[in-house]
Structure 1
Amino acid sequence: MTDMQPVLVTGATGKTGRHAVRFLRESGLPVRALVHRHDERSRQLEDLGAEVAVGDLLDLDAMTAVTRGVRSAYFTYPIMPGLIEATTVFAQAAADNGVEAVVNMSQISARREATSNAARHHWLAERLLDHYPVPATHLRPTFFAEWLLVFGDWSGREGLLRLPMGHGRHAPIAAEDQGRVIAAILADPQPHAGRIYPLHGPKELDYDEIAAALARTLGRPVRYEPVDVDAFVRTLEARGWHPHTVQHLRNVVVDYQNGVFAGTNNVVRDVGGTEPLSVEAYAARHRDAMTAH
């Protein structure tokens, strides 16, 4: 590590946080990585040269300690209850310690009129951060490419995407590409202060086109099988998903059908410094996980 002030990454073992840590360390910046517990994932961060801190985003004393001496910080919170409280705690700690900038992970469905409680809370969290003296940059990604792993059934001879997406479209955005954007803003936050960046992959597709792209890359049949929203919700409930998350997904899939998640832009290229991964490129990187077991 250097004598420079560290950059703080919360959710550092999560999908976007771990990539942000890696890119920051590759650029030579000191990183303080906030995790829930010491485990193999946190040891991997230490191997990258990050300073690992254990704490809870809802704990004001812990957040005051972890933001002390920090230059800029990435804030992310899972789709679970507590976002508004966690944002308040984090913003107060950051302000008390003179943090110069915050990069906030929001979502593309964040808006006042959202029917998803989580999406509306993200919009409120953005407004809350905007009222603190610490300049904030808000990231609003469309659905992650990682959805293809989480919700795809890759166990049989044919890959299946059973989702209630209708004929909606989006450009899946990989967590890796989001990590590049996060790292770039944390390294030089001033040009991005106060901005809201929607994040998209390179090409807008519907789910039939996504399935076809996966099939071409993987060399195996992949099919999109539309289901209704209630059937999708029953599957989530049977898997034990938290009611807050289920309520969110029930409503954002309707948003998806209505075009809320659609669009493309050049933010990953212009801010992150590289072209975003296509569906084909993402599948090639995760071929093993998309191979029948």
Structure 2
Amino acid sequence: MASAAALPDLAVTGSTGGLGGMVARQLADAGFAQRLLVRDTKRAPALGDTFPLACSYADSGAARSALEGVKTLFMVSAAENAERVQEHYAFVDAAAAAGVEHVVYTSLFGAAPDAAFTLARDHYATEERIKASGMAYTFLRDNLYLDVLPLLAGTRGVIQGPAGSGTFAGVAREDIARCAVAVLRDPAIHKGKVYNLTGPEELSLARAAEVLTQGTGRTVTYQPETVDEAYASRASYNAPQWQLDAWVSTYTSIARGEMAGVSPDVHGLTGQDPISLAEFLTRPVL
């Protein structure tokens, strides 16, 4: 294989996952050459004019080598873990050292240092690291994934958590991918932009349960909890504290209104209206 500097100047991470895989496929279909940065090159999708390169966010040396000659980097946030922020920092620093010019990062709606949702704080910290690096940036701040909602009901058909009557504006992963591709096709016009990616409606969890019931034929209900009840009901999973905090604060962020508000950005980037929950439930799995 040619040296990294001679490879395409567009790099995409996460192509073995849901969002990154959608983005890589759409870019390939549009004729874009790209480097696919993956942990295991054998798992990289077989797409036209793509070049799998092995690296991980935490391996600064491998990341810097893989990113040499890259102008635009699509950075999907790493899998949730206790060291994710440090992994992000290492990768951002490696990208800057390799001379990457522009980072398109998948962040979170409401990212802030004092957000109720603990993971929103992590995304804010990553955004700040990217800003401080000197690289140009575009942040895609995604609301809660509609794709995850059916899973929240579990085997009992009950969504439970301390969300109260708060609302969120969930977005389909498919819409996020289309937005990312729109930015990556012409990144220069999106430098310094922060896009809030939402669906077309605000939903309470009670309303979401009704839509899930109507759309799936399975009875789904919402059971409000107090914060203490939420921790107690999840104690049997024996998850580490950071994970419990993330699970519970997903709901408290809704209760505090941090996930509320419909944005026009999906339509602005793609020219298409975002997918609603009811519509999402009728679509084939991608």
Query: 1:233 and 1:54, CA in 2 relative to 1: closer, same or farther beyond 3 A?
Result: farther
Q: Which residue of 1 aligns with 2:143?
A: 142
- Cα separation, 2, equivalents of 1:246 and 1:109: 20
CA RMSD of aligned residues (A): 2.4
- Which secondary structure does the structure 2 equivalent of 1:106 belong to? strand
- Deviation by residue 1:254-276 (Cα, 9 ceiling, x = unmatched): 12101000011121111134222
> After superposition, where does 1:78-97 map in structure 2 within 5 Å?
78-97=79-98
Work out whether 1:5 is the aligned partner of 2:14: no
- Deviation by residue 1:82-115 (Cα, 9 ceiling, x = unmatched): 3333333222322233322101122123212235
- Cα separation, 2, equivalents of 1:242 and 1:15: 25
Q: Which residue of 2 aligns with 1:132?
A: 133
Confirm or deny: 8 A CA contact 2:150 2:212 kept in the other structure: no
Q: Which residue of 1 aligns with 2:113?
A: 112
- Cα separation, 1, equivalents of 2:193 and 2:284: 32
Partner letter of residue 38 of structure 2? V
Larger deviation, residues 111-120 vs 124-133: 111-120
Query: 1:74 and 1:237, CA in 2 relative to 1: closer, same or farther beyond 3 A?
Result: farther
- Which secondary structure does the structure 2 equivalent of 1:5 belong to? coil
Which runs of 5 or more residues in structure 1 are unaligned?
A: 288-293
Q: How many pairs align?
A: 279
- Cα separation, 1, equivalents of 2:100 and 2:31: 20
Find the partner of 1:27 among 16, 20, 30: 30
Q: Which residue of 1 aligns with 2:191?
A: 193
Partner letter of residue 134 of structure 2? P
- Cα separation, 2, equivalents of 1:65 and 1:125: 21
> After superposition, where does 1:274-285 map in structure 2 within 5 Å?
274-285=272-283
Confirm or deny: 8 A CA contact 1:83 1:122 kept in the other structure: no
> After superposition, where does 1:146-185 map in structure 2 within 5 Å?
146-153=147-154, 155=155, 159-185=157-183
Q: Which residue of 1 aligns with 2:74?
A: 74
- Cα separation, 2, equivalents of 1:235 and 1:36: 35
Runs in 1 of length 4+ with deviation above 6 angstroms? Answer: none
- Cα separation, 1, equivalents of 2:175 and 2:107: 15
- Cα separation, 2, equivalents of 1:238 and 1:54: 37
Question: What is the TM-score normalised by the length of structure 1?
Answer: 0.85
Q: Which residue of 2 aligns with 1:100?
A: 101
Confirm or deny: 8 A CA contact 2:166 2:254 kept in the other structure: yes
How far did 1:167 drift? 0.5
Q: Which residue of 1 aligns with 2:249?
A: 251
Q: Which residue of 1 aligns with 2:46?
A: 46
Q: Which residue of 1 aligns with 2:65?
A: 65
How far did 1:193 drift? 1.1
- Cα separation, 1, equivalents of 2:102 and 2:109: 21
Confirm or deny: 8 A CA contact 1:118 1:244 kept in the other structure: no
Which runs of 5 or more residues in structure 2 are unaligned?
A: 1-5
- Deviation by residue 1:206-246 (Cα, 9 ceiling, x = unmatched): 12221222222223433222233334334444335443222
Query: 1:241 and 1:57, CA in 2 relative to 1: closer, same or farther beyond 3 A?
Result: same
- Which secondary structure does the structure 2 equivalent of 1:179 belong to? helix
- Deviation by residue 1:17-60 (Cα, 9 ceiling, x = unmatched): 11111221121111222223356xx35x1246532222210111
- Cα separation, 1, equivalents of 2:148 and 2:223: 15
Partner letter of residue 22 of structure 1? R
Query: 1:212 and 1:187, CA in 2 relative to 1: closer, same or farther beyond 3 A?
Result: same
Confirm or deny: 8 A CA contact 1:87 1:129 kept in the other structure: no
- Cα separation, 2, equivalents of 1:48 and 1:227: 49
- Which secondary structure does the structure 1 equivalent of 2:282 belong to? helix
- Cα separation, 1, equivalents of 2:69 and 2:85: 24
Query: 1:123 and 1:136, CA in 2 relative to 1: closer, same or farther beyond 3 A?
Result: same
- Which secondary structure does the structure 1 equivalent of 2:110 belong to? coil
Work out whether 1:216 is the aligned partner of 2:237: no
How far did 1:279 drift? 0.3
- Deviation by residue 1:115-167 (Cα, 9 ceiling, x = unmatched): 554322321221121122210111221211122133122x46xx332333210
Q: Which residue of 1 aligns with 2:3?
A: none
State percent identity of aligned pairs: 27
Confirm or deny: 8 A CA contact 1:64 1:93 kept in the other structure: yes
